[in-house]
């Protein structure tokens, strides 16, 4: 009949623990009884030796052995039997130097040779052994018998019945088994308690199911497109899935290490460590916008999930720019309608020459401003951004101007990074200038190249940034502006405190920096330096049009700020 091994974890553990406890107790009992038996044998042989030595020390016994023949009624037999009865020995045998018995428990054996070899004892040595004689198996001892002058005249052999030794051992066995049974019962109870605890922890799932669940968990964690980071109660990283490693830039050796050892100080570390409370917390790591949620676990640890919002953030910013451009186009639609009405009136009045001058003036003003931007900023994405932001600025009543020192004709390594930096800086500057109303609110943009380094500077006429906030303003999730509820059918305002954090992270990724200082006359100046952001042209020569636009008849610099978005 085949014995089926239980499938449940608790049943397997209980069976294994009971079998193990039973095996250990059987082994321990055997190991205890084996030396106990040897100890009893040794005690019996020592007792026999002691009786034999005491008997051989009697001087009368040596004289009686030398002066009388072997006789069942002789004095040697009488003394030997007296000693045997007094000590409880199995036998006390006295023999002469020829090995002939002078005493024995069985009188018929007197006068006969002993059944075992007495030569060692008669040679003067004492002997202890477990042996079998005419009276059966016994623990015996033999000592030489000497006369008054020390000569060996015979030997004394004393035996202790081996049955008494075995009886003592068997008498001890019940006590040993009682203790072993008590230990077995305690072990079984402990195994039952452990099995019940395991059953509660594992919900009665089999080992095979646990293995399958673990494999499924590993596959799921490393296949989902959300980052998962698990921490133990000491704040050390316990688990990092593939997506979390990609988002945070963590290697395979991150598990088992403290969070501060694998991530630099900053908001991302604060959020992951749980020192910033809240749900859907924003963080920036390596130029990526992350949404983090931290959930504590029952063992004192925590699990943090991370969602990559970088592409969504960029799309939202593009959508915001498009929405602003639509607002600007709606505003310009009214202006263009007025201009068309004016043109129609001039044509109806027959003032064709005046109508031509009016059209030339309007078209030339817009074309001149766009051409000046394209001349100073060769990258189409950056120049288009400036033109689009100019329309938005004009709608908000803010003038967007290009600094006279702007010149960026080299090819940009990654235009999207510069668009992100410049767009964020202009958006913040427009917000500051529009909210802090004053005479002639404006935002000035400066783009210039210093070798392969791009320098971006945006100043505004807003309230400025206090010195104590000039570092905090670049932290993720920190903003001086409160979120506004959606109104008028516009898109709801997204979480703030990401734009300037992205600017600084991008600058640091290029090995540059981002800072804010005060503007003369009030306001703030944001400066971003991006080393190795430009690809130098051959020879480093400037376009002829750019040089001509910068010098007057006497070779002096005469360019004035280009106003590309005047408030209407």
Q: Classify 107 as helix, strand or coil.
A: helix
Query: Is 426 in contact with 487 (CB distance < 8 Å)?
Result: no
| Predicted local distance difference test score (pLDDT) of residue 370 | 66
CATH number at residue 37: 3.30.450.20
Q: Which domain holds residue 58?
A: 9-168
Same domain, yes or no: 17 and 134: yes
267/357 Cα distance (integer angstroms): 59
Nearest CA to 290 among 307, 271, 266, 314?
307
Mean pLDDT value of segment 230-234: 87
Residue 504: inside a domain: yes
Residue 561: inside a domain: yes
Query: Is 136 in contact with 119 (CB distance < 8 Å)?
Result: no
* Cβ atoms < 10 Å from Cβ of 148: 9
Nearest CA to 92 among 84, 100, 110?
84
- Point out the domain boundary residue: 127, 148, 168: 168
Q: Classify 406 as helix, strand or coil.
A: coil
**Token couple for 516:** 């804010």
Residue 494: inside a domain: yes
The answer, yes or no, to whether residue 151 has pLDDT greater than 80, is yes
Output b/e per residue, 489-520; b: 16+ Cβ within 10 A: eeeeeebbbbbbbbbbbbbeebebebebeebe
| Predicted local distance difference test score (pLDDT) of residue 455 | 94
Same domain, yes or no: 48 and 150: yes
Same domain, yes or no: 452 and 539: yes
Q: Which of 90-104, 229-243, 533-547 has the highest average model confidence (pLDDT)? A: 90-104
Q: Which of 212-216, 237-241, 342-346, 532-536 has the highest average model confidence (pLDDT)? A: 237-241
The predicted-structure confidence for 438-476, as pLDDT tens digits, reads as follows 778 899 999 999 988 999 999 999 888 898 888 888 876
Determine which helix (DSSP H) or strand (DSSP E) holds 91, and give its type and residue range: strand 91-96
507/534 Cα distance (integer angstroms): 14
547/270 Cα distance (integer angstroms): 50
Same domain, yes or no: 281 and 392: no
230/227 Cα distance (integer angstroms): 10
The predicted-structure confidence for 411-437, as pLDDT tens digits, reads as follows 888 888 888 888 889 988 988 888 876
Q: In this predicted structure, which of 299-303, 318-322, 393-397 has the lowest mean pLDDT?
A: 318-322
Burial tier of 321 (Cβ tally within 10 Å: 0-12, 13-18, 19+): middle
468/484 Cα distance (integer angstroms): 25
Same domain, yes or no: 372 and 286: no
Strands (E), 386-543: 399-402, 411-412, 442-450, 453-460, 513-518, 524-530, 534-535
Same domain, yes or no: 484 and 394: yes
Residue 214: inside a domain: no
Residue 183: inside a domain: no
Overall domain count for the chain: 3
CATH number at residue 414: 3.30.565.10
| Predicted local distance difference test score (pLDDT) of residue 492 | 35
**Token couple for 8:** 């449940």
Same domain, yes or no: 378 and 269: no
- Point out the domain boundary residue: 288, 307, 326: 307
184: Cα within 13 Å, side-chain hemisphere: 17
Same domain, yes or no: 302 and 374: no
- Point out the domain boundary residue: 265, 283, 307: 307
Residue 542: inside a domain: yes
Greater pLDDT, 280 or 537: 280
The answer, yes or no, to whether residue 386 has pLDDT greater than 50, is yes
Residue 203: inside a domain: no
The answer, yes or no, to whether residue 512 has pLDDT greater than 70, is yes
Same domain, yes or no: 26 and 153: yes
Residue 339: inside a domain: no
Same domain, yes or no: 234 and 156: no
């Amino acid at each position: 009949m085949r014995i089926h091994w239980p499938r449940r974890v608790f049943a397997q553990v209980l069976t294994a623990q009971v079998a193990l406890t039973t095996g250990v107790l059987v082994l321990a009992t055997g190991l205890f009884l084996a030396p106990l038996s040897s100890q009893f044998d040794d005690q019996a042989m020592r007792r026999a030796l002691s009786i034999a030595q005491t008997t051989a020390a009697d001087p009368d016994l040596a004289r009686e052995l030398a002066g009388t023949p072997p006789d069942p009624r002789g004095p040697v037999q009488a003394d030997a039997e007296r000693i045997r009865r007094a000590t409880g020995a199995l036998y006390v045998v006295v023999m002469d130097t020829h090995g002939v018995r002078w005493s024995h428990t069985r009188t018929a054996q007197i006068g006969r040779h002993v059944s075992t070899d007495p030569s060692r004892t008669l040679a003067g040595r004492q002997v202890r052994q477990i042996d079998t004689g005419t009276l059966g198996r016994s623990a015996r001892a033999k000592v030489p018998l000497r006369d008054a002058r020390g000569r060996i005249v015979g030997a004394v052999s004393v035996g202790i019945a081996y049955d008494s030794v075995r009886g003592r051992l068997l008498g001890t066995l019940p006590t040993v088994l009682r203790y072993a049974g008590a230990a077995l019962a305690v072990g079984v109870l402990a195994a039952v308690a452990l099995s019940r605890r395991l059953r509660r922890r594992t919900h009665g799932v089999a080992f095979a199911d646990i293995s399958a669940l673990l494999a499924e968990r590993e596959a799921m964690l490393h296949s989902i497109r959300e980052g998962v980071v698990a921490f133990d109660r000491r704040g050390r990283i316990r688990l990092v899935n593939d997506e979390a490693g990609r988002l945070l830039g963590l290697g395979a050796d991150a598990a088992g290490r403290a969070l501060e050892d694998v991530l630099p100080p900053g908001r991302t570390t604060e959020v992951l460590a749980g020192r910033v409370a809240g749900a859907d917390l924003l963080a920036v790591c390596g130029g990526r916008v992350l949404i983090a949620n931290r959930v504590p676990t029952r063992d004192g640890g925590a699990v943090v999930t991370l969602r990559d919002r970088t592409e969504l953030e960029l799309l939202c910013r593009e959508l915001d720019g498009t929405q602003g451009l639509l607002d600007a186009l709606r505003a310009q639609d009214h202006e263009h309608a007025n201009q068309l009405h004016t043109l129609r009136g001039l044509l109806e009045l027959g003032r064709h020459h005046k109508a031509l001058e009016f059209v030339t003036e309007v078209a030339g003003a817009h074309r001149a401003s766009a051409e000046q931007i394209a001349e100073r900023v060769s990258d189409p994405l950056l120049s288009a951004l400036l033109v689009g932001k100019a329309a938005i600025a004009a709608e908000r009543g803010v003038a967007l101007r290009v600094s006279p020192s702007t010149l960026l004709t080299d090819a940009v390594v990654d235009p999207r990074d510069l668009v992100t930096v410049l767009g964020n800086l202009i958006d913040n500057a427009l917000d500051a200038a529009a909210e802090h109303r004053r005479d002639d609110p404006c935002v000035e943009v400066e783009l210039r190249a210093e070798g392969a380094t791009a320098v971006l500077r945006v100043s505004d006429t807003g309230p400025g940034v206090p010195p104590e906030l000039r570092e905090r303003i670049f932290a993720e999730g920190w903003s001086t502006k409160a979120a506004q509820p959606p109104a008028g059918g516009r898109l709801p305002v997204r979480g703030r405190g990401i734009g300037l954090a992205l600017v600084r992270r991008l600058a640091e990724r290029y090995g540059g920096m981002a800072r804010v200082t005060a503007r003369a006359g009030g306001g703030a100046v944001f400066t971003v330096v991006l080393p190795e952001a430009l690809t130098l042209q051959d020879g480093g020569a400037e376009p002829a049009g750019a040089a001509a636009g910068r010098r007057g008849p006497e070779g002096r610099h005469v360019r004035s700020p280009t106003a590309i978005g005047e408030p209407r």
